[in-house]
Structure 1
Amino acid sequence: MFNIPALTWTLTAVLLAGGSYHLWQAARSHHLTDRVNNTLHALMNALMAAMLWNLAPSTTLAQIGLLAAAALWFIIQAVARPEFKLLCAGTQGRLKCAYHALTMAAAALMIAMMTHPATGPATAHGTAPADHTSMPAAHHTMTTTPHPTATAATPLDHPPGILLTLLFATAALTFLTLLARRTTTTHHHNTTPRPTRTEHALEALGATTMALMFATMTA
């Protein structure tokens, strides 16, 4: 699927648009925690876009480490004591941080899976292709192998990818449902500056992108 230029460009545009939004939110935020969180989201989007084009493969370990650290940061926020007001507060805030921790961990896993695939399809000589470091290149190798029976990658090759595809697809439907219901929380005591509809739309778009990318890897 990722050898289709239109799809690659579309996903790249979505990721960069989401990253730009998070950077804008980081710049206008008055709270340090919000700035850090939005900056991490912007960085994750940029790394995902770079992965689509196999950019900076020499920094793969650094990318995985950074995303893993970001996942840990969101986990810390999700389980922090209520006294720490700057971190996630309330059930909804903790669930949100837990989901963002999952997103960061899934992005790190995606990069790791692309660098070290679980099972490579056999070639005409019965050996696996040497290079599977990029999504477009991996798909191109599979589609140009001489024997069709040896090129079919079974879903069992990447079981975590299948699970994450379903998880992010479910998340996308959940955010779309929340967006459709338009359950705005514009109460007088609410101090959150971000529009709820915008957040839900952004989360739905991001979850859809992650589901598509994982689905392509396991197809």
Structure 2
Amino acid sequence: MFNIPALTWTLTAVLLLGGSYNLLQAARSRHLTDRVNNSLHALMNALMTAMLWNLGPSTMLAQIGILAGAALWFTIQAVARPQFKLLCAGSQGRLKCAYHSLTMTGAATMIALMTTHTPTNATPTAATQDMAMPMPHHTMTAAHNTTHTTAPTAATGLGNAPAILLTLFFAAAAATFLILLLRRRTTTTHHQATSKHSTRTEHGLEALGAATMALMFATMTA
């Protein structure tokens, strides 16, 4: 996905770190819902890692379906009645589930956008091969104009608008989680440090994850 190996490896490390933490939380959790939620996050990080390395392109529809199902699951939790104690409880819990639903939706959208960017990259190559063949001058000119007219339109119409919006959304989310992390560090006393450690870790990983998503979407706006 990126032409800079160092950036690809850095994002891979961040995604694998987040996925490993989610798997650890899933194994430690005593509630089935928490296990499912953390497992879904670990799976999402794995799919994002595979996308970075262009792995499993033939399973894109299955990946989108899984992530869409996960988004629906978190949406159900966010809007569930308070009587269902196993699902998201309280206003903070509902906001958290709503954000995770948007995260899953963003990941599915990213995979879908990847399919629209691939043909665009292949267009110049096909055009070059056609122009290399002997043909009349007016035919070459028509093919050249058609290529330059069609490719930018497809890329702009299908990719740029949602990619820009999601870049801004996840950049704002990363800033929000970073503010929450810094605020907890300054207001937490020594006595509360142990009980708040898990929350700080989650905020830190959420900030890294949101920044990673924002950066990946930003590459699709060019």
Taking only the aligned residue pairs, the percentage that are identical comes to 73
Give runs of aligned pairs for residues 107-186 of structure 1, distance below 5 A.
Answer: 107-117=107-117, 120=120, 123=124, 157-182=159-184
Q: 1:59 to 1:179 in 2, by over 3 A?
A: same
The runs of 5 or more residues in structure 1 that have no matched partner are 128-149, 187-191
- Alignment partners' CA distance in 2, 1:7 and 1:165: 17
When structure 1 is superposed on structure 2, of 41-50 and 196-205 the one drifting more is 196-205
Give runs of aligned pairs for residues 38-117 of structure 1, distance below 5 A.
Answer: 38-117=38-117
- Alignment partners' CA distance in 2, 1:218 and 1:109: 14
How far 1:158 moved relative to its partner? 2.0
> If each structure's helix is expressed as a fraction of its own residues, which one has the higher value?
2
How far 1:193 moved relative to its partner? 8.4
- Alignment partners' CA distance in 2, 1:57 and 1:179: 36
Larger Rg: 2
Q: Give the TM-score normalised by the residue count of structure 1.
A: 0.80
- Pairing partner for 1:201 from 176, 185, 204: 204
| DSSP-derived class of the 1:210 partner | helix
2:218 is equivalent to residue 215 of structure 1:
yes
Letter aligned with residue 161 of structure 1: A
How far 1:57 moved relative to its partner? 1.3
Q: 1:93 to 1:81 in 2, by over 3 A?
A: same
The runs of 5 or more residues in structure 2 that have no matched partner are 129-147, 190-194
| DSSP-derived class of the 1:49 partner | helix
When structure 1 is superposed on structure 2, of 151-160 and 25-34 the one drifting more is 151-160
How far 1:58 moved relative to its partner? 1.4
- Alignment partners' CA distance in 2, 1:155 and 1:89: 41
- Alignment partners' CA distance in 1, 2:197 and 2:165: 31
| Corresponding position of 1:29 | 29
- Alignment partners' CA distance in 2, 1:67 and 1:38: 13
Q: Indicate conservation of the 8 Å contact 1:179/1:201, yes or no.
A: yes
When structure 1 is superposed on structure 2, of 71-80 and 108-117 the one drifting more is 108-117
